[in-house]
Amino acid sequence: MKIDLLYALTNRSGELSWHEVLEATRRHAVMADELGFDRIWLGEHHFDTDGTDASPNPIMLATDLAARTNRIRFGMAAVSLTLWHPLRVAEDLALLDHFSEGRLDVAFGRGILPIEVMNLNPAASRWNGSDNSRAIFEENLEIVRRIWTEDLFSWSGERYTFPEPRTKFIHSPGAPMPEGWVDEQGHLKAFGMTPQPFQQPMPPLFAVTESVEGFRGAAQKGLKPITWYPTGQVLRNLLDLYREEKTAVTGATPDLGEDVGVLRLCYVAETDEQARRVTEASVVEFFEFVCRVRGIGVWLDADEDPEDPRFKEMDPFDLLMERDHLMIGSAASVTEKMTRLTRSHGIQNWLLQMGFPGVAHDEVDRSLELFAAEVMPEMRKLDSTLAAAQ
């Protein structure tokens, strides 16, 4: 059982400076390291003026946090791969892998907010009816994997050609000539990256996805899915699909839920009432924001109709709680809910977001401490494969 944190750099009130938000992030990372959490996942978001997640470069942020911690791993969830030059992001991640001494996991995504995608790489638009975004992602992913693992790297694809034809290699006389890099005319025909990742052959790779296509593609590409909104039978169907596709690709049948991370909002307080009082306004605001971006259907189960008016009339906190989107309450309540879902869906990797927009940083402190003291020990005891395998 892995118990991770998804961490967002939040400042909903706007009262804090960005440096104060960074200092809170540093404090929480050290706490998570000392309290026994397995990983901290950091997202990539640009031009954040709403105080939702001001983290434009999770690679640089994780480098800072790795230097302040001892054992906790750092996950990128996700690097928006379509918005980066593939060689640059491969180099930056390899350096982070060395700086953290191999405490790196990497999830790649395609970017989700128009303000980010359309202003950093409009060719990767997900809203113009083309398949460019997916094609860019797949080409960049293959380039990253190959430059990480090949001493003689070359590439000819739809968008990139490496090395650029007729590039002269200016060789330092005091160093040995790299074998296989140049042709008879002194032009590059292949090259390599320095350094390659600390973890060999590369850091573990994940994909942030919620769709059938995303889970199938993750299994085919050897990526581990991380998913947020699917719940109930929708989540179970995706877990079954990933297991079936993984079996077809590898010939070995994994346990249900193996290699899949499931993300939920989480907050632990002394009582259920206190937890709701602290988080309800933030949960409702987040619910409304996601509905604007994705529609209410992302919160619902397989047999529920997004057009059913009763869902719009329901209290958002109650709707999300009933559909197991919220691990919020007393330690006993959160333990019960996480245990039930672990057993019904074979969950082996939880990602918990405690610092969601609107929850004060000092409230996150107490939730981290309560979870580590009272929930985490019970979760570590679980064998998630028992009931889920039935």
Q: Which of 79, 87, 134, 84 is nearest to 107 (CA)?
A: 79
Domains in the chain, please, with CATH? 1-148+196-208 (3.20.20.30), 151-191 (no CATH), 236-390 (3.20.20.30)
| Residue count (the chain) | 390
Rounded distance, CA 354 to CA 28, Å?
11
> Contact at 8 Å (CB) between 81 and 142?
no
Beta-bridge partner residues of 268: 329
Question: What are the C-alpha distances in Å from 239 to residues 4, 169, 212, 323?
Answer: 19, 49, 10, 17
Q: What is the pLDDT along the chain (390 residues), one digit of tens a residue?
A: 999 999 999 999 899 999 999 999 999 999 999 999 999 999 999 999 999 999 999 999 999 999 999 999 999 999 999 999 999 999 999 999 999 999 999 999 999 899 999 999 999 999 998 889 999 999 999 999 999 999 999 999 999 999 999 999 998 999 999 999 999 999 999 999 999 999 999 999 999 999 999 999 999 999 999 999 999 999 999 999 999 999 999 999 999 999 999 999 999 999 999 999 999 999 999 999 899 988 999 999 999 999 999 998 999 999 999 999 999 999 999 999 999 999 999 999 999 999 999 999 999 999 999 999 999 999 999 975 554 544
Q: For 378-382, which contacts have Cβ atoms below 8 Å and span 24 or more sequence positions?
A: 378/335, 378/339, 379/1, 379/3, 379/335, 379/338, 379/339, 379/342, 379/350, 380/1, 380/3, 382/1, 382/339, 382/342, 382/343
- Taking alpha carbons only, the member of 107, 108, 92, 90 closest to residue 39 is 107
Encode the chain in three state secondary structure: CEEEEEECCCCCCCCCCHHHHHHHHHHHHHHHHHHCCCEEEECCCCCCCCCCCCCCCHHHHHHHHHCCCCCCEEEEEEEEHHHCCHHHHHHHHHHHHHHCCCCEEEEEECCCCHHHHHHHCHHHCCCCCCCHHHHHHHHHHHHHHHHHHCCCECEECCCCEECCCCCECCCCCCCCCCCCCECCCCEECCECCCCCCCCCCCCCEEEECCCHHHHHHHHHHCCEEEECCCCHHHHHHHHHHHHHHHHHHHCCCCCCCCCCEEEEEEEEECCHHHHHHHHHHHHHHHHHHHHHHHCHHHHCCCCCCCCCHHHHHCCHHHHHHHCCCEEEEEHHHHHHHHHHHHHHHCCCEEEEECCCCCCCHHHHHHHHHHHHHHHHHHHHCCCCHHHHCC
Task: Find residue 72's DSSP bridge partners.
Answer: none
Spatial CB neighbours of 303, under 8 Å, sequence gap ≥ 6 = 233
Note the pLDDT of residue 138.
Answer: 94
226 forms beta bridges with 208, 261
> By the 8 A CB rule, do 360 and 51 touch?
no
- Both tokens of 112, joined, read 């989700």
Residue 389's pLDDT is 46
Closest CA to 6 of 356, 363, 372, 279: 356
Question: Ramachandran region of residue 249, left (φ > 0), alpha (ψ -120 to 50) or beta?
Answer: alpha
Peptide bond into 201 cis (omega under 30): yes
Q: What's residue 131's pLDDT?
A: 87
Return the pLDDT at 285: 95
